[in-house]
Amino acid sequence: MNPGRPLLIAVVLIPFFSLFYIFALKTYRQKTGIWLMFPHDRVLKGKGQETPRKLSSKLPLRPLPVGKIAKVRRVLFRWDRMLRIALYFSLLSAFGIGFKEINVHNWVTRLQRREYILRPTGWVRMLSGSQSLLNVYLVALWVVTYFGHPFESY
């Protein structure tokens, strides 16, 4: 009876699914995870970016300061990085299925500074597909309840 409830549920499910994606970023199994891939037809090509790279909770390869405060900063930086990647991937997964020109996934990926694709493997792929299907159902339910009147008798 509340037309906005399906959209509210869809928005709440994005952080919920990101918890599972954080777990996927923390695993070191090669067959399961989120992979960063660069398309072959991109405009700006860089060196060393042709092979897919598995995203994980490891820190980047730049040197970091040492000490107790630096250790806390490294831990916070690691969790901040994992949370941002997981939320972004969850957002992309939620809107992975579109209809013709109405494809939020493509709109969001065009906001990136570089051209790359995030691809899941293993159980993360199954979870991402389930999130896409669930979100399509919730958006369709919102469209029907907001623009139509399915619960009114004529």
Q: What digits encode the pLDDT tens for the residues 107-143?
A: 888 888 888 889 999 999 999 999 999 999 998 888 8
pLDDT of residue 58: 75
Please tell me the predicted confidence (pLDDT) of residue 39: 80
Domain-wise residue ranges, the chain: 5-147
Q: Give the β-pairing of 53-55 and 117-121.
A: unpaired
Q: What are phi and psi of 99, to 5 degrees?
A: -130, 110
**Among candidates 120, 85, 92, which has minimal Cα distance to 108?**
92
pLDDT of residue 37: 87
Give the pTM.
Answer: 0.81
